[in-house]
Amino acid sequence: MPMLYIEMHTLHYSIIFALHDWAGPWNRDCGSVEQRMIQNLGRKNESESLNQSPEKMKLKQLEGLLGGLQQFPQPKVELEQYPTGPHIASRMLFTAENSFGDVSDRVVADFGCGCGTLGVAAALLNAEHVLSIDIDPESLEIASLNAEELELDIDFIQSNILDLGWRGPIVDTVIMNPPFGTRKVGADLDFLSVALKVASQAVYSLHKTSTRDHVKRTALRDFNASSAEAICELRFDVPKMYKFHKKKEVDIAVDLWRFVPARHQRST
Amino acid sequence: MRLLTHNMLSSNIKGVVNGFPLRIEAEKVAEKSVEMNREFLKKMFQKVHWKAFVDASRAMGYTELPEKADSSMLNSDEFLNRFHHALLELHLEEGALVCPETGRRFPVNKGIPNMLLPQEEVLLSIIIC
Does some domain include residue B17?
A: yes
| CATH number of the domain within which B61 lies | 2.20.25.10
pLDDT of residue A258: 98
How does pLDDT run along chain B (129 residues), one tens digit per residue? 999 999 999 997 888 889 999 999 999 999 999 999 999 999 999 999 999 999 999 999 999 999 999 999 999 999 999 999 999 999 999 999 999 999 999 999 999 999 998 764 554 444 444
In a domain, B99, yes or no: yes
- Residue A9 banded pLDDT, cuts 50, 70, 90: very low
**Distance from the B63 Cα atom to the nearest Cα atom in chain A, whole angstroms:** 23
Contact across the interface for B34 and A171, Cβ inside 8 Å: no
Asked if residue B129 is part of any domain, the answer here is: no
Q: Of all helices (H) and strands (E), which one includes residue B84?
A: helix B77-84
Counting the structural domains of chain B, the total is 1
Rounded percentage of chain A residues whose pLDDT exceeds 90:
55
**Shortest CB distance from A167 goes to which of B2, B10, B114?**
B10
Give the model's pLDDT for residue A55: 63
Residue B75 has a pLDDT of 95
Instruction: Give me the pLDDT at residue B84, please.
Output: 98
pLDDT in the model for residue A34: 29
Range of the domain at B99: 3-121
Over residues A174-208, the pLDDT tens digits come to 999 998 776 677 889 999 999 999 999 999 999 99
Q: Does B126 touch chain A (CB under 8 A)?
A: no
String of DSSP letters for chain A: -PPPS---S------B---TTTTSGGGGGGGG---TT---HHHHHHHHHTTS-TTSPPHHHHHHHHHTS---SS--GGGT-----HHHHHHHHHHHHHTT--STTSEEEEET-TTSHHHHHHHHTT-SEEEEEES-HHHHHHHHHHHHHTT---EEEE--TTT-EE-SS---EEEE----SSSSTTHHHHHHHHHHHH-SSEEEEEEEGGGHHHHHHHHHHTS-EEEEEEEEEEEEEEE--STT--SSEEEEEEEEEEEEEPP-----
Greatest mean pLDDT among A1-5, A43-47, B45-49 lies in B45-49
Q: Please identify among residues 168-187 of chain A the ones whose CB lies closer than 8 Å to any CB of chain B.
A: 168-171
Domain assignment present for residue B126? The answer is no
Chain A residue at shortest CA distance from B39? A105
pLDDT, tens only, A121-140:
999 999 999 999 999 999 99
Contacts of A267 in chain B (CB under 8 A): none
Q: Is the Cβ pair B37, A165 closer than 8 Å?
A: no
List of domains in chain A: 81-241+248-261 (3.40.50.150)
Mean pLDDT of A218-238: 89
More confident residue, A260 or A14: A260
- Res A182: pLDDT: 67
- The pLDDT tens digits of the residues spanning A57-92 come to 889 999 999 998 988 777 776 676 766 788 889 999
**pLDDT value of position A246:** 60
Note the pLDDT of residue B110. Answer: 96
